[in-house]
């Protein structure tokens, strides 16, 4: 069993919980996810099964689309509604919420939340948070491609990988003179994969898993079909006349390896996919 499995993650389960349950349902240990989704958030979780666990670095992109809602007048230690309240303040009215949100579209620097998995001095930030330790966090580059505002301080955001929506809510509120936290979060899209394509754990248990093939996941990379796979399995450098610096080699319609330009028109194996 090899391929990508798209899960509609329910609230209350961690991404690791989903992987643990899928290992039992699918009776395989070779499973991993492409990016953590908060326990209280719902939506798209991309899971790699079998040989597909090798292709994570080569997926097309990890831009994401989220639907989020904000709550004003309060701050918590997790920057969301599920954390411990650390401050409260009277709400300053926001005359034009859409204009406020649109001011965040573009490239910018964002300070990540204390509960993120970013490492500082070899330790994840959320580990410091669990021990009630505060550490300085460096701002990181992100990009907001678009924001669509909705009712009651909710919005849909298309953003780059590494963007923390809870921190975006914090910053939007701060720019308006308010305290603010994230009160709900749904991940609607990861790369080209959408929520409508996802299965629930219950659906997988009842009807079986629908897997997207490794070929579909790597369709954005140039494809070269081989007459035999001997040299690839031996890890040999190969020559190809192509402008691409990264390609996927196929044999009998099966993705065998990802090759990258070594020098000139010589390519070296970056990741074997045949077993």
- Give me the catalytic one of 17, 38, 96, 98: 38
DSSP letter for each residue of 38-107:
-TT-EEEEEEEEGGGGG-GGGSS---EEEEEEEEESEEETTSBTTS-EEEE-PPPP-S-HHHHHHTT-EE
Half-sphere CA count of 120, side-chain side, radius 13 A: 18
Name which of 52, 41, 19 is nearest 187 in CA terms: 41
Cα distances (angstroms) measured from residue 222 to each of 48, 122, 260:
21, 37, 11
Question: For the chain, how far is it from start to end, CA to CA, in angstroms?
Answer: 11
Residues counted in the chain:
275
92: how many CB neighbours lie within 10 A of its CB? 12
Q: Judge whether 2 counts as a catalytic residue.
A: no
Cα angle: 258, vertex 260, 265; to 5 degrees: 125
- CA 127, CA 117: separation in Å to the nearest integer? 8
Which two tokens mark 69? 């809602």
Task: Rounding to the nearest 10 degrees, give the CA dihedral for residues 106, 107, 109, 115.
Answer: 70
Strand partners for 182: 70, 80
Distance of CA 47 to the CA centre of its chain: 11
| Residues carrying an active site annotation | 38
């Amino acid at each position: 069993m090899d391929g990508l499995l798209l899960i509609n993650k329910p609230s209350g389960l961690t991404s690791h919980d989903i992987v643990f349950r899928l290992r039992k349902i699918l009776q395989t240990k070779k499973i991993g996810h492409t990016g953590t989704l908060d326990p209280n958030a719902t939506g798209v979780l991309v899971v790699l099964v079998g040989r597909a666990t090798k292709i994570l670095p080569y997926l097309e992109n990890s831009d994401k689309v989220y639907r989020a809602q904000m709550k004003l007048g309060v701050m918590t230690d997790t920057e969301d509604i599920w954390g411990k309240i650390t401050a409260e303040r009277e709400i300053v009215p926001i005359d034009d919420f859409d204009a406020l949100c649109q001011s965040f579209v573009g490239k910018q620097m964002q300070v990540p939340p204390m509960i993120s998995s970013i490492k500082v001095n070899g330790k994840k930030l959320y580990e410091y948070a669990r021990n009630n330790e505060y550490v300085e966090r460096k701002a990181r580059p992100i990009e907001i491609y678009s924001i669509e505002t909705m009712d009651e301080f909710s919005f849909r955001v298309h953003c780059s990988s590494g963007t923390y929506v809870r921190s975006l809510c914090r910053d939007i509120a701060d720019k308006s003179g308010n305290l603010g936290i994230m009160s709900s979060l749904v991940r609607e899209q990861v790369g080209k994969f959408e929520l409508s394509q996802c299965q629930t754990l219950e659906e997988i248990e009842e009807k079986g898993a629908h897997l997207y093939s490794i070929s579909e996941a790597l369709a954005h990379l140039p494809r070269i079909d081989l007459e035999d796979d001997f040299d690839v399995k031996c890890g040999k450098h190969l020559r190809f006349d192509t402008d691409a610096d990264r390609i996927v080699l196929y044999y009998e319609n099966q993705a065998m390896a990802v090759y990258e330009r070594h020098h000139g028109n010589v390519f070296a194996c970056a990741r074997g996919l045949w077993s």
